[in-house]
């Protein structure tokens, strides 16, 4: 990376930090050849998204794989250059403590297993990247934070949008005053879920339905766009329990969040139809993202002074995946805290529990 | 109008009716030269929008004006060709009963006066077009319906969107099955209100704040797109009572409506920021309107099979204003009921009262 590129990157994140954002990711200078070793735990569809992105990382490499199937692990190992000594099953996982090539365990298991394997990774002396949602419950999330703290290990949640150029630009615009005083956020995330046998529709493994999986993006957007924590939540659930997919978990659960500044966020979470957008509206204009949190192709448009125009985000030196992976590596190397540490995941879990309670009890929950 | 144009018009509305829409407006053949006489009551900013549209009407003309200022009335009379015998103040208004050139009184007064002047118009033997919101309260709306029924006079609410081509096309698409099973509506209406001394910010005259004036468009959209009546409402208010504009009425009041089919509508109503859009989302795609309910320039786009495209609405022979005005004229001439009669206004008033109660009490109100 040239000085110029590095400076641009620092400036981009620096500007965000000075606007009162979540702390800028650590980009302190590191030896160019120093890479933290990741163990990827769980070789499902999202691992297929993550694994190829290590090729774009500057400070992260894959040194281990954890799978229920050694045959599958060997196949992935051949593809991604992982040595045999880095292959584990869930039964042999605890011996990863003896593998000095592994610094970080990336837990990409079903939600209901995040708690157990984060604790086991910390007990094995490894730092942890844990996929969202952090856990099935806030109580589990608290235990995960405590375990990592006791083991003096970093814990980060895989909130990739915080490292994606359009989302970072949206945060910058929202907090810059360019939209005037912020008033309303609308955020919609959802898809029409298929296979009724998948773990996401199993309560023990998923912890809940659309809210845990996809509604959390709407919640995150409302929080990171405003930079505020909600003071109340009012939610409405709509689930057809005769639909074979929704025997155990909710389909649609929409919610209104009220923030201390007076901003209200209207959020959609659904497993019934396709949504991937948000808009933040101030007294002086709005910024609209659609798609907002896709793996690629995210797009912004800005309305001001009666005109709507495309609003291209400045390029970042990293994409959302390599940026996220390298961020934790750099936090480990420098001893700094991730911008989306376990505490950030816990905040979401507490709000999600309030959303469920509000829908169940038919009342506004004060947070 | 040629036979072809007339037929196209009938077909357009006929197709809507057969899809289970609100009844098609009456377009029975009328003598081309027969026009109902309107008295425009209240010469404020919206009268300035309505008055020029009579030139485009086939069955409606202005024959009287009612104003607090005879000087203003005479100025408007000169501009719109209204004879001196058709000019009234609020004091002399009741004598309109003796004016055979007036068939319909269009009440464009502040909301708090709709009840009184609808009753006085009906007592004078005139049919009534009443601006939205129908009244300050559901009780007033009920009395207005009863008074017009007792006098055997028509009562219609000025819900212009029902006569606007994009909105009619949106209703057609929503109910055609083209979007699959309907799941979610998002509807946002709002603007950043100015002059703190205007009647819209006075509780006695306006009955409430943004909800009464502009939020009712979000509510209407949710109802006319789905063709359903909500079974519950959950609302959150956000008003800065230190803002001089909001001493008496609410700024933002957002609400979630749940419908019998399981559709949930997320609605924004605000006097704090600019919003004019809705989207209806089904299992198979969505239709987006932005602007959705402007005086002109409304625009639709459709997302299906992964592609977003502009969705032009078929031309109607009338615009939303002339269509609305002529509809009531034709109902009067044929004895049929308006598609947005007083009962439609009353439905909204009852839901609005539930929205206020929900926000005040912090609970979901079952309707």
A129 and A108 in a common domain = yes
- What is the domain range of residue B288? 165-314+348-366
- List the end-to-end C-alpha distance of chain B, in Å, as a whole number: 45
Count the neighbouring beta carbons within 10 Å of the beta carbon of residue B14: 13
A286 to B274: CB separation less than 8 angstroms, yes or no: yes
A260 and A144 in a common domain = no
Classify residue B13: in a domain, yes or no.
no
Q: Can you list the residues of chain B whose pLDDT is less than 50?
A: 1-24, 26
**Residue partners of A310: CB distance under 8 A and separation at least 6:** A299, A300, A301, A302
Do residues A89 and A66 touch, judged by C-beta distance below 8 A? yes
Chain B hits for A283, Cβ within 8 Å: 192, 272-273
To 10 degrees, the CA torsion angle through A105, A109, A113, A117?
-10
CA distance A169 to A19: 12
Q: Can you list the residues of chain A whose pLDDT is less than 70?
A: 1-33
User: What pLDDT does residue B7 have?
Assistant: 29
A30 and A149 in a common domain = yes
Tell me if residue B358 falls in helix, strand or coil: helix
Tokens 């017009």 identify what position? B148
Cα–Cα nearest to A296, from A36, A26, A56, A43? A56
Of B232, B270, B364, the CB nearest to A183: B270
Q: Suggest the residue from B185, B232, B234 to mutate for an interface test with chain A (most A CBs closer than 10 A).
A: B234
B188 to A186: CB separation less than 8 angstroms, yes or no: yes
User: What pLDDT does residue A32 have?
Assistant: 59
Classify residue B79: in a domain, yes or no.
yes
User: What pLDDT does residue B24 have?
Assistant: 47
Listing DSSP states for B16-82 in one string gives HHHTTPSPPPP-----TT--EEEEEE--SHHHHHHGGGGGG-SSEEEEEEE-S-HHHHHHHHHHHT-
A210 and A328 in a common domain = no
User: What pLDDT does residue A1 have?
Assistant: 30
CA distance B295 to B292: 9
Query: HEC string of B328-346?
Result: HHHHHHHCCCCCCEHHHHH
Q: How many interface pairs between A and B have CB atoms less than 8 angstroms apart?
A: 121
Which residues of chain A have a Cβ shorter than 8 Å from any chain B Cβ? 180, 183-184, 186, 188, 190, 192, 232, 234-236, 238-240, 252, 254-256, 258, 262-264, 266-268, 270, 272-275, 281-283, 285-286, 303, 362-364
Catalytic residues of A: 132, 217
Domain count, chain B: 2
Closest CA in chain A for residue B285: A274
Chain A hits for B256, Cβ within 8 Å: 234-236, 254-256
Largest CA distance in chain B: 62
Of A262, A270, A364, the CB nearest to B184: A270
Phi, psi of A240 (to 5 degrees): -85, 100
Q: How far is CA B131 from CA A124, B126, B134, in A?
A: 71, 16, 6
CATH of the domain at B108: 3.40.50.720
A249 and A108 in a common domain = no
Tell me if residue B133 falls in helix, strand or coil: coil
In the annotation, is B217 catalytic? yes
B271 and B179 in a common domain = yes
What ipTM was estimated for this complex? 0.90
CA distance B222 to B214: 14
B302 and B268 in a common domain = yes
Q: Which residues pair with A155 in a beta bridge?
A: A128
Cα–Cα nearest to B73, from B55, B98, B91, B58? B91
Size of chain B, expressed as the number of residues it contains: 367
Q: How far is CA B66 from CA A341, B71, B93, in A?
A: 66, 11, 7
User: What pLDDT does residue A7 have?
Assistant: 29
Q: Suggest the residue from A179, A183, A193, A290 to mutate for an interface test with chain B (most B CBs closer than 10 A).
A: A183
Of B186, B238, B281, the CB nearest to A262: B238
Structure token pair of residue A143: 């235990």
A254 to B262: CB separation less than 8 angstroms, yes or no: no
A329 and A262 in a common domain = no
Classify residue B4: in a domain, yes or no.
no
Q: Suggest the residue from B174, B179, B180, B184 to mutate for an interface test with chain A (most A CBs closer than 10 A).
A: B184
Whether the link from the prior residue into A146 is cis, omega within 30° of 0, is no
A183 to B252: CB separation less than 8 angstroms, yes or no: yes
B122 and B204 in a common domain = no
A140 and A40 in a common domain = yes
User: What pLDDT does residue B34 have?
Assistant: 84
| A130: enclosing H helix or E strand | strand A127-130
Of A236, A256, A273, the CB nearest to B183: A273
Closest CA in chain B for residue A189: B184
Classify residue B5: in a domain, yes or no.
no
CA distance B82 to B51: 11
B229 and B353 in a common domain = yes
Tell me if residue A357 falls in helix, strand or coil: helix
Classify residue B150: in a domain, yes or no.
yes
Q: How far is CA B73 from CA A179, B47, B76, B81, B116, in A?
A: 42, 12, 5, 11, 21
Tell me if residue A363 falls in helix, strand or coil: strand
């Amino acid at each position: 990376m040239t000085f110029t590129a590095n400076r641009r990157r620092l400036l981009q994140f620096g500007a965000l930090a000075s606007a009162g954002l979540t702390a800028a990711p650590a980009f302190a200078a590191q030896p160019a050849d120093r890479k933290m070793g990741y163990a990827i735990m769980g070789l499902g569809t999202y691992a297929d998204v993550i694994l190829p992105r290590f090729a774009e990382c500057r400070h992260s490499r894959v040194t281990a794989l954890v799978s229920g199937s050694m045959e599958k692990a060997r196949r992935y190992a051949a593809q991604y250059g992982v040595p045999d000594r880095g292959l584990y099953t869930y039964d042999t996982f605890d011996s990863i403590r003896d593998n000095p090539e592994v610094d970080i365990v990336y837990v990409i298991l079903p939600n209901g297993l995040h708690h157990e394997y984060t604790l086991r990774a910390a007990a094995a002396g490894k730092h942890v990247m844990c996929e969202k949602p952090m856990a099935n419950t806030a109580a589990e999330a608290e235990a995960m934070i405590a375990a990592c703290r006791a083991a003096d290990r970093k814990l980060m949640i895989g909130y990739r949008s915080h490292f994606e150029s359009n989302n970072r630009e949206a945060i910058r615009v929202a907090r810059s005053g360019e939209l005037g005083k912020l008033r309303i956020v609308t955020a919609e995330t959802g898809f029409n879920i298929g296979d009724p046998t998948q773990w996401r529709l199993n309560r023990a493994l998923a912890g809940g339905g659309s809210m845990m999986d996809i509604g959390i993006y709407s919640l995150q957007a409302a929080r990171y766009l405003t930079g505020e924590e909600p003071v109340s939540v009012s939610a409405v659930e709509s689930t057809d329990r005769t639909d074979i997919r929704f025997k155990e978990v909710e389909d649609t659960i929409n919610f209104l969040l009220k923030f201390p500044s007076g901003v209200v966020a209207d959020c959609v979470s659904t497993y019934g139809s396709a949504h991937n957008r948000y808009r933040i509206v101030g007294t002086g204009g709005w910024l609209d993202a659609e798609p907002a949190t896709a793996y690629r192709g995210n797009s912004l448009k800005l309305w001001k002074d009666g005109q709507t125009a495309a609003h291209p985000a400045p390029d970042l030196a990293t994409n959302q995946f390599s940026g996220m992976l390298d961020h934790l590596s750099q936090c480990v190397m420098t001893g700094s805290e991730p911008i989306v540490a376990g505490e950030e995941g816990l905040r979401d879990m507490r709000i999600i529990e309030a959303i469920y309670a509000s829908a169940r009890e038919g009342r506004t929950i004060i947070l």
